[in-house]
């Protein structure tokens, strides 16, 4: 109780509020002794004191005696001082909050956003692609890294079509992830920071971050970038939804330039976010549900000369946790404990089911979306 009272006394808002209250009470009581008439009746002197302090001055009451007027001057100056202090306190709170936000020390209050953990030379390209592909409006991206304020300001100026937010710190820390509002995020992307002498194996931190993120939010969509294929098993055990390995695509493109000239050029155009022939995903008209793949292929070909490459769907898988009964029995509790000890998630995240150029017998399913080349 003493600690709470001590904190209250030290609070600036409380001090200024108490000062305003005391000046109002004392001003009303003193005015009653110095004046006569309606200004001294009921709550009128206290009303006069508060409107005088705030410099409103409605004019419905005014002191008549020289003593009362001299006292009114003191009340005015006291009110001006207290009001200025109150304004300064509010301004300082907003300024401090803005400074903390720029330094990445405040929690972001957004949802359905993308969290980008880490920073390297490819991060700019990732944000470039997100900015270009965000056709349905501006996207919120929260950056978690250790960039300085000048670099963050540069990024915010460069990417005006994206609402960039910043949280400073280590993305393997639960507190930092909570500040990034992980609970209501849409997707998390983990990219390793630039390799330096202080980082022996950047994939280790990526795996640790994946374990931490999935431990906090098992159902969130997580995309991880790895340097070494040897760590693929570990990141899969951390329940990453998608994994990108740095050496795969580069090695294939290099070999294709030698063995299959023309293929790498086509791949570059299909994956270039500014190319008019890049891969696109589009909705499938409802009338094609249950119809053969060939019918949908002909539809896109005739509609805008697009080529239908395949279809995909995001499948919500039944987790083990859904199988257990709602009322937690001793057996259910035992099973749940053993599964957690074995590192098995009770909630299975949704997965992408993809069909590339399926046979003519394939039927379009409800929930399918199309991948086309315009």
pLDDT digit string, tens, across residues 162-186: 888 999 889 999 999 999 999 999 8
Residue in 169, 205, 183, 192 with CA at minimum distance from that of residue 112: 183
Taking residues 243-261, report their average pLDDT. 72
DSSP code string of 3-50:
HHHHHHHH-HHHHHHHHHHHHHHHHHHHHHHH--SGGGSTTHHHHHHH
Taking residues 144-158, report their average pLDDT. 86
CB 125 within 8 A of CB 168: no
Q: Phi first, then psi: what are they for 244, rounded to 5°? A: -115, 130
- pLDDT tens column, 197-226: 455 678 888 999 999 999 999 889 898 888
Token representation of residue 78: 């006291």
Fold classification of 2-102 is: Helix Hairpins (1.10.287)
Calculate the alpha carbon distances from 48 to 11, 43, 64 in Å: 27, 9, 13
Model-level pTM? 0.62
Architecture in CATH for domain 105-275:
3-Layer(aba) Sandwich (3.40)
pLDDT for 176 equals: 92
Of the listed ranges 183-192, 248-257, 296-305, 309-318, the least confidently predicted one is 248-257
Q: How many CB atoms lie within 10 A of CB 203?
A: 22
Does pLDDT of 47 surpass 90?
A: no
In whole numbers, what is the pLDDT of the chain averaged over residues? Answer: 80
Output Rg (C-alpha) for the chain, integer angstroms. Answer: 32
Does pLDDT of 338 surpass 60?
A: no
pLDDT for 197 equals: 47
Intrachain domains 2-102 and 105-275 with the same fold: no
Does pLDDT of 339 surpass 60?
A: no
Does pLDDT of 272 surpass 70?
A: yes
Taking residues 290-303, report their average pLDDT. 90
Token representation of residue 94: 């907003």
* Cβ-Cβ contacts under 8 Å for 138 (sequence gap 6 or more): 161, 162, 163
pLDDT for 254 equals: 65
Q: How many CB atoms lie within 10 A of CB 347?
A: 15
Q: For the chain, what are the domain ranges?
A: 2-102, 105-275, 279-374
């Amino acid at each position: 109780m003493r600690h709470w009272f001590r904190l209250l006394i030290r609070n600036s808002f409380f001090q200024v509020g108490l000062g305003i209250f005391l000046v109002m009470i004392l001003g009303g009581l003193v005015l009653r002794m110095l004046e006569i008439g309606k200004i001294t009746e009921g709550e009128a002197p206290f009303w006069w004191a508060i409107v005088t302090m705030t410099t409103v001055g409605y004019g419905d009451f005014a002191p008549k005696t020289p003593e009362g007027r001299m006292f009114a001057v003191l009340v005015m100056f006291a009110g001006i001082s207290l009001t200025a202090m109150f304004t300064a306190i509010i301004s300082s709170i907003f300024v401090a909050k803005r400074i903390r936000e720029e330094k990445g020390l405040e929690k972001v209050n957004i949802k359905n956003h993308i969290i980008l953990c880490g920073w390297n030379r490819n991060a700019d390209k990732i944000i470039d692609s997100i900015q270009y592909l965000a056709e349905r409006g501006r996207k919120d991206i929260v950056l978690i890294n250790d960039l300085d304020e000048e670099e963050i300001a540069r990024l915010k100026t460069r990417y005006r079509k994206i609402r960039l937010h910043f949280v400073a710190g280590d993305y393997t820390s639960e507190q930092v992830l909570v500040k990034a509002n992980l609970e209501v995020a849409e997707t998390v992307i983990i990219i390793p920071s630039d390799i330096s002498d202080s980082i022996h194996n950047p994939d280790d931190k990526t795996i640790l971050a994946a374990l931490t993120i999935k431990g906090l939010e098992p159902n969130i969509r997580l995309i991880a970038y790895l340097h070494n294929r040897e760590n693929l098993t570990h990141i899969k055990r951390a329940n990453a939804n998608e994994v990108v390995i740095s050496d795969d695509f580069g090695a294939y493109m290099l070999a294709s330039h030698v063995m299959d000239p023309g293929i790498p050029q086509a791949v570059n155009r299909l994956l270039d976010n500014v190319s008019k022939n890049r891969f696109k995903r589009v909705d499938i008209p409802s009338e094609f549900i249950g119809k053969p793949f060939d019918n949908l292929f002909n539809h896109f070909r005739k509609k805008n000369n697009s080529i239908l490459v395949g279809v995909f769907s995001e499948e919500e898988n039944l987790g083990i946790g859904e199988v257990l009964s709602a009322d937690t029995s001793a057996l259910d509790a035992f099973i749940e404990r053993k599964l957690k000890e074995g590192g098995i998630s009770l909630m299975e995240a949704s997965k992408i089911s993809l069909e590339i150029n399926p046979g003519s017998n394939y039927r379009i399913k409800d929930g399918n979306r199309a991948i086309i080349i315009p």
